[in-house]
Structure 1
Amino acid sequence: MAKLHTYTTKVVWTGNTGTGTSSYRDYTREHEISGEGLPGIPGSSDPAFRGDPARWNPEQLLLVSVSQCHMLSYLHLCAVNGVVVTAYTDEPVGTMTETAGSGQFTEAVLHPRIEVTEEAMVERAVALHHDAHKVCFIANSVNFPVRHEPQVTVKTSSAGSQPR
Structure 2
Amino acid sequence: MTTTHTYDVTVAWTGNLGTGTDGYRSYARDHEVRADGPPPLPGSSDPAFRGDPARWNPEQLLVASLSQCHMLWYLHLCAAGGVVVTAYEDRAHGVLAMDGSGGGGRPSALSPVRRFAGQPPGGRANGPVVQGGTAAPRRSATSPGTVNDA
TM-score, normalised by the number of residues in structure 2: 0.82
1:107 & 1:82 partners in 2: Cα distance?
31
Q: Which has the higher contact order (CA 8 A, sep 6+)?
A: 1
SS of the residue 1:93 aligns to: coil
1:88 and 1:115 in contact (8 A); partners too = yes
2:123 & 2:116 partners in 1: Cα distance?
11
Query: What code does the residue aligned with 1:60 have?
Result: Q
1:61 & 1:7 partners in 2: Cα distance?
16
Which is further off, 20-29 or 114-123? Answer: 114-123
Indicate the structure with greater helix content.
Answer: 1
1:103 & 1:7 partners in 2: Cα distance?
27
Q: Where in structure 2 are the equivalents of 1:1-164 lying within 5 Å?
A: 1-127=1-127, 142-143=144-145, 148=150
1:120 & 1:9 partners in 2: Cα distance?
40
Question: What per-residue deviation string (whole Å, max 9, x for no partner) do you get for residues 31-52 of structure 1?
Answer: 0111012111000000111101
Residue ranges of structure 2 left out of the alignment (5+ in a row): 128-141
Root-mean-square deviation (CA, aligned residues, Å) is 2.0
SS of the residue 2:94 aligns to: strand
Q: What is the Cα deviation at residue 118 of structure 1? A: 2.7
Q: Identity percentage over the alignment?
A: 51
SS of the residue 1:87 aligns to: strand
Question: What per-residue deviation string (whole Å, max 9, x for no partner) do you get for residues 74-104 of structure 1?
Answer: 0000001111000000110011211225211
2:107 and 2:144 in contact (8 A); partners too = no
1:73 & 1:58 partners in 2: Cα distance?
22
1:46 & 1:144 partners in 2: Cα distance?
24
Q: Relative to 1, partners in 2 of residues 1:104 and 1:73: Cα closer, same or farther, differing over 3 Å?
A: same
TM-score, normalised by the number of residues in structure 1: 0.76
Q: Segments of 4+ in structure 1 off by > 6 A?
A: none
